[in-house]
Amino acid sequence: MEISNQLKNQHLMWRAGFGPAAEQLNDLDKYSPAKYFKALAKASANEPVYINVASNNLISAFENLQDAGKRKNLDEMQRREINRMMQAAVKDLNLYWLKEMISTGAQLREKMAFFWHGHFATRERNIFHTQLLLQVFRKHGLGSFRNLLKEVSQSAAMINFLNNQQNRKGHPNENFAREVMELFTLGRGNYTETDIKEAARAFTGWTANGTGDFVFRNNFHDDGNKTVLGKSGRLTGDDILNIILENRQTSRFIVQKIYCFFVNDIVDDKLVNQLADKFYNSNYDIGNLMETIFTSDWFYSMKNIGARIKSPVELLAGIQRMIPMTLENDTPLLNLQKILGQQLLYPPNVAGWPGGKAWIDSSTLMMRLRIPQMFNDKDELNVAPKQDDDTMMGQKTDGTAAVPGKEVMPKKRYGAINAKINWAQYTISYDKVKRENLLDNIRNNLFQVNASNVEITVNKDVDASSREAFIKSATIQLMSTPEYQLC
């Protein structure tokens, strides 16, 4: 069967971005995927503008906190307030980034940042450290994996999250050394426990200061002889990262993860090995790897189209790209992320989100099917997300971190979402479509899989009172199906 350019380009937009946008609908069939990818890559080439959501108030309060003299003058209430503001700001950053995913033309860049933020999974309640790390993902996501790995390893967020602050000569903390090999580069089974112990010694002295700069503390560093993955010497943290990158397994591990995320979670070993060799030989050029994938014929084969279950963020962003909307209040978007199991900047653990079928259980599926109706103002979010105890991040309290003694989550109904959908922006793409072709046309725009049976249902339940009502109700209904969960 001949696969249309439209389906291929939609496939590209879902995988290399967050789905096709309303204004692209009439372009999708005009260009070859190769041309479409070129435009996508070009739009993502510029260095991203740093995202700062912290208010001037918070910035100056945080500066006071860094200054030992001024810190003494802060009482517990003031420290608590700073802490509260920082936590609120992390939520603002979540929503800001989600908006960026929806509205930016640099789809590929944000999609890569989204991937890396799940790969190098961290949680950090300090908004400034979180912003710095997010910028690393956005800036280096299509660059060199070598640079990305080093920037992430030396970021305050990662150093704090994996306890490298506590990793000192004579008192090693192996957390970072273990995860960098197990989860970030080599994968389980490709190193020994001794490698971890020795590597931990090499990372001693890697710390970060309050403002988030990397600081190497020589007096904490163990500069004795070490042997890691067969290489010996007075190894430093940099040496360990280089040794890891010299190992071809790192390329294999990263490429396989990228393949699972962007192509298909059923791995084609032969393809992945080829890509891994190429990635290694290119000195870990991520942009080059992504171009190879997104311009290959096999990427656009039927077995890869519609084969993935959208992650909650991909689903939420994808709906909003297709039917543009403004929300009176963003909080329901946070609650939806939580209920569906993927909060940006808040991965479940250092291993990130498992993805695939793990997104789906009875509660998350039924919620996914109801979301389009909620956006369309006809349904209420009457489901409560789980309480969040993780305000302390498991870190020692020094008095600056404190949790109020009252209920964290309101217990009752969450109300309507109050989205104002800008339907005109969407329905205009159907102006030239004949009435009898409308449903097919809408379905083709929304689905990446065949679903002739769904049409039977929609045809029966659709609001046919006017052309516009038909488009709206068919769109909402088609989005409320299992088929729409796939991309």
Partner 1 sequence: MLIKRKEFLQIGSLATASFMMPKFLKAFESNAFVPAGNKVVVVLQLSGGNDGLNTVIPVRNDIYYRSRPSLGIKMQQAATLTDEVALNPALSAFKTLYDEGNMAILNNVGYPNPDRSHFRSMDIWHSASKSNEYWNTGWVGRYLDAQCSGCDRPTQALEVDDVLSLALKGEQANAIAVKDPRRLYGTSNEKFFKDIMKNHKADHHDEEPIDYLYKTMSQTLSSADYIFKQSRLHPTGATYPNTDLGNGFKTIASLIFSEINTKVYYISLGSFDTHVGQEAQQTRLFTQMNEAVKAFTDDLKKNGRMQDVLLFTFSEFGRRVTQNASNGTDHGTANNMFLISGGLKQKGMLNAMPDLTDLNEGDLKYKVDFKDVYATILSKWLTADADKILSGHYNMLDFI
Judged by the rule CB under 8 A, the positions of this chain that interact with partner 1 are 76, 123, 178, 306-309, 338-339, 348-351, 354, 357-358, 360-366, 369-370, 382-397, 399, 401-405, 408, 411, 449, 453-454, 456-457, 460-461, 477, 480-483, 485-486
Q: How far is the CB of 60 from partner 1 (least distance, A)?
A: 25
Q: How far is the CB of 323 from partner 1 (least distance, A)?
A: 18
Half-sphere exposure of 272 (CA within 13 A, CB side): 22
Q: How far is the CB of 1 from partner 1 (least distance, A)?
A: 16
Q: How far is the CB of 120 from partner 1 (least distance, A)?
A: 15
Q: At CA 212, angle to CA 210 and CA 213, rounded to 5? A: 110
Q: Which of 423, 432, 483 is nearest to 456 (CA)?
A: 483
For 318-354, give the DSSP string.
HHHHHS-EEES-SHHHHHHHHHHT-BTTB-SSTT---
Q: How far is the CB of 194 from partner 1 (least distance, A)?
A: 15
Q: Which is nearer to partner 1, 112 or 454 (CB)?
A: 454
Q: Which is nearer to partner 1, 222 or 483 (CB)?
A: 483
Partners of 419 in beta bridges: 327
Per-residue b/e over 135-158, b at no fewer than 16 CB within 10 Å?
bbbbbbbbebbbebbbbbbbbbbb
Q: How far is the CB of 440 from partner 1 (least distance, A)?
A: 17
Q: How far is the CB of 66 from partner 1 (least distance, A)?
A: 22
3-state SS, residue 481: coil
DSSP 227: E
Which ranges constitute the DSSP H helices of 230-311? 237-246, 248-262, 269-281, 286-294
Instruction: Determine if residue 254 is left, alpha or beta; phi over 0 gives left, psi from -120 to 50 gives alpha, anything else beta.
Output: alpha
Count of C-beta atoms within a 10 Å radius of residue 27? 16
Q: Which is nearer to partner 1, 152 or 196 (CB)?
A: 196
Q: How far is the CB of 231 from partner 1 (least distance, A)?
A: 24
Q: How far is the CB of 150 from partner 1 (least distance, A)?
A: 24
Single-letter code of the amino acid located at 189? G
The most distant pair of C-alpha atoms in the chain lies apart, rounded to whole Å, by 79
Q: Which is nearer to partner 1, 67 or 76 (CB)?
A: 76
Q: How far is the CB of 389 from partner 1 (least distance, A)?
A: 4
Q: At CA 156, angle to CA 153 and CA 161, rounded to 5? A: 80
Single-letter code of the amino acid located at 365? L
Single-letter code of the amino acid located at 370? R
Tokens of 58: 């918070």
In angstroms, what CA-CA distances link 291 with 39, 42, 95, 333? 12, 12, 29, 32
Q: Which is nearer to partner 1, 259 or 280 (CB)?
A: 259
Residues in the chain: 487
Q: How far is the CB of 441 from partner 1 (least distance, A)?
A: 20
DSSP 154: T
Q: Which is nearer to partner 1, 378 or 420 (CB)?
A: 378
Q: Which is nearer to partner 1, 51 or 403 (CB)?
A: 403
CA 423 to chain centre: 28
Tokens of 178: 């273990």
